[in-house]
Chains A and B, each alone.
Chain A
Amino acid sequence: MSHHLFILSPSDTPIYNLTYSSTKPAPAIISPLSSNLPTWSTSAFAGTLTALSGASSTTQLTTGGGVRIGGGQDRHVIQMIANASLDAVEDVMRKEGTMYLKGVDKFNEWTVSAFITPGNTKFVLLHEAKNDEGIKSFFLDVWELYVKTMLNPFYSNQQVIRSSTFDSRVRASAKKFL
């Protein structure tokens, strides 16, 4: 079961992203669309199409249950889902005063949760299973790390976060909560 975290600066430039596969088993997803889709295995866009249709089960068969395409191989599809969810996030954040927005958007098997810092930096997390409390704790950890990054006078909030300590700490927190 994989998770995808994107951190976006106030002007919506991506400043950090993380793909994390937890050891917990993925829930069985029955997608009606994917079972009706023909298998265009020779098409160049087969990967995208199956991923878009949420056909995690069909690809699982072809690769022998190892790596699922819907589960994180297609970076561009994941990025598209995350970017598309920003519209939903921005709609909600104008009305809701909470920082943690759970399940603001859904796309096939992906649920999108977001966290808006007071300075309008957005953490967007794509996940498959419901895990509200864990995700909230994870976001709070990432927020703490982000605030610490911000406090560095050499960091401005448009820059990509390259710190390896930041990365390893986010990973540790993902391991703990996701």
Chain B
Amino acid sequence: MNSSVDHLSPTTSSARFSLPSKPTPGSKLNIYERNLNKTRLSEVSAASLSFLFSEIVQYTQKRVSGINDLERRLNTLGYRVGTRVLELTAYRAEFSSKAPKREIRLLPALMAIHTQVWRAVYGRPADAIEKSVENVDEYMIIDNDPLIERHISVPRDLSGLSCSSFSAGIVEAVLDGLGFPARVTAHHTPTATHPTRATILIKFEKSVLDREDILK
């Protein structure tokens, strides 16, 4: 309570909105001296994230020729995020445990993406995991209202584009890191209640299912 009042008072708030004359001690720290758990519960405002992502999409769109290319590039960008998210969330979850564990089974790994990874990136778990009926090697993660697409309306000539390709890239990186190589794509699958619903389709390589059979 006290701290929030401090922020609002005019005498102390000036430093928050203008550049401080002297660098604060915190800014001198290099990355190796920072505590990895310090920012665990801090959040980025959804507005800045939307703004940043909109710039990412615009930047990417200027450099591609077609929807497939655009989705592939967004996927690549997401992949770079995913490798870091995986390492950081696992570190935060396992660092204090006596015997740190990696996920080696398929379903727990998917559950971890659905809950932990989604929570770390978007602040809440995804809405569902489904297994494809037609193909045994396909799984789907469903987000009814993807945070990054909330302020994006796709023009008609780009219909079929799903900006959640970025999330697909994150999922692909996490699965790759854990040793479940897969091809991950995003699809726009609107329903009456959820017009921006996105489905992340995961198609595993054959080796993944073979190994899963052995582990059973």
Contact = CB atoms under 8 A, between A and B. Distances in A.
A76 interface: no
Contacts of B94: 99
Interface string A117-150: 1111000000000000000000010011111111
Contacts of A147: 36, 87-88, 91
Nearest to A96: B104
Interface stretch (B46-54, B95-103, B159-167): B95-103
B32 A145 contact: yes
B104 A94 contact: yes
Nearest to B101: A97
Contacts of A96: 104
A95 B100 CA distance: 15
A119 B117 CA distance: 13
Contacts of A97: 101-105
Interface residues of B, number: 28
A65 interface: no
6 nearest A-B pairs in the assembled complex, by CB-CB distance: A118-B90, A119-B177, A99-B100, A97-B104, A165-B32, A119-B87
Given A118-B177, A118-B178, A148 B34 contact: yes
A148 B99 CA distance: 21
Contacts of B178: 118, 120
A6 interface: no
Residue with the greatest number of chain A CB neighbours at <10 A, chosen from B80, B87, B103: B87
Contacts of A117: 87, 90
Interface in A131-177: 140, 143-152, 156-157, 163, 165-166, 169
- Interface size class of chain A, counting residues whose CB lies under 8 Å from the partner chain: 20 to 34
Residue with the greatest number of chain B CB neighbours at <10 A, chosen from A97, A117, A118, A149: A118
A100 interface: yes
B177 A98 contact: no
19 contacts: A10-B176, A10-B177, A93-B179, A94-B104, A94-B179, A95-B104, A95-B215, A97-B102, A97-B103, A97-B104, A99-B94, A118-B86, A140-B95, A144-B95, A146-B87, A147-B87, A148-B31, A152-B31, A165-B30
A30 B215 CA distance: 40
Interface of B: 30-32, 34, 36, 80, 83-84, 86-88, 90-91, 94-95, 99-105, 176-179, 211, 215
Given A98-B100, A119-B83, A166 B211 contact: no
Contacts of B105: 97
Contacts of A145: 32
B140 to A, nearest CB: 23
A100 B98 CA distance: 10
A51 interface: no
A116 interface: yes
A87 to B, nearest CB: 16
B100 A100 contact: yes
B91 A116 contact: no
A49 B91 CA distance: 42
A146 B84 CA distance: 11
A116 B102 contact: yes
Nearest to B30: A165
Given A10-B177, A151-B31, A98 B99 contact: yes
Nearest to A116: B102
Nearest to A121: B87
Interface in A76-101: 93-100
